[in-house]
Amino acid sequence: MSIADKISGCYRRVLIFLISILIVGLVAGVIVYNRVGGKEGLHYWTARSALNSIEKSLIKNRPDGISQDTVESEFQQIRSAIDNRKVDLIILYDTLTAYQDKFQGPGLSVEKVKPSTPEVEEFLLRLKSTILTEDK
């Protein structure tokens, strides 16, 4: 058996292994995509993940004038609205993006600004306004 035959056999096994990994990954991706509810469910799952991230940041950097219980209860209401699909995702996205831009620094910046009590109150009101009621 020549070296060329050994190398070609090795490449074939590696190629089969990579294709197998790719297929398993695609199948897992399809299963997860279906579990979250398809395209629409993926939007709500992403919104919930972003909301959880902002909540952690806000609790860590909250001003003394806002209690942690207040922040947690407000975010729980938004989470419930997301779960029930009673939230305006566009306004929620804009609200969360505005908070991130203002208090977490642009992009991957580690610079953070601690919000004031009125700024947090305004943010929580804007968050609450994303919940859809029967009137909207």
Phi and psi at residue 74, to the nearest 5°: -65, -45
Cα–Cα distance, 52 to 44 (Å, whole number): 12
Token pair of 133 as six digits: 């009621």
Say whether pLDDT at 108 is over 60. Answer: no
Cα–Cα distance, 113 to 136 (Å, whole number): 34
Do residues 130 and 78 lie in contact, with contact meaning Cβ atoms separated by under 8 Å?
yes
Residue 67, C-beta contacts closer than 8 angstroms, at least 6 positions apart: none
Least confident piece of the model among 57-61, 88-92, 96-100, 108-112: 108-112
Cα–Cα distance, 66 to 75 (Å, whole number): 13
Provide the 3-class DSSP secondary structure of residue 131. strand
* Interval 15-56: pLDDT, tens: 889 999 999 999 998 888 888 778 788 888 889 999 999 999
DSSP state, 66?
S
Q: What is the pLDDT of residue 109?
A: 58
Cα–Cα distance, 47 to 41 (Å, whole number): 10
Cα–Cα distance, 117 to 136 (Å, whole number): 29
* Interval 65-94: pLDDT, tens: 888 999 999 999 999 999 888 999 999 999
The CA distances from residue 107 to 81, 97, 110, 116, in Å, are 28, 11, 9, 22
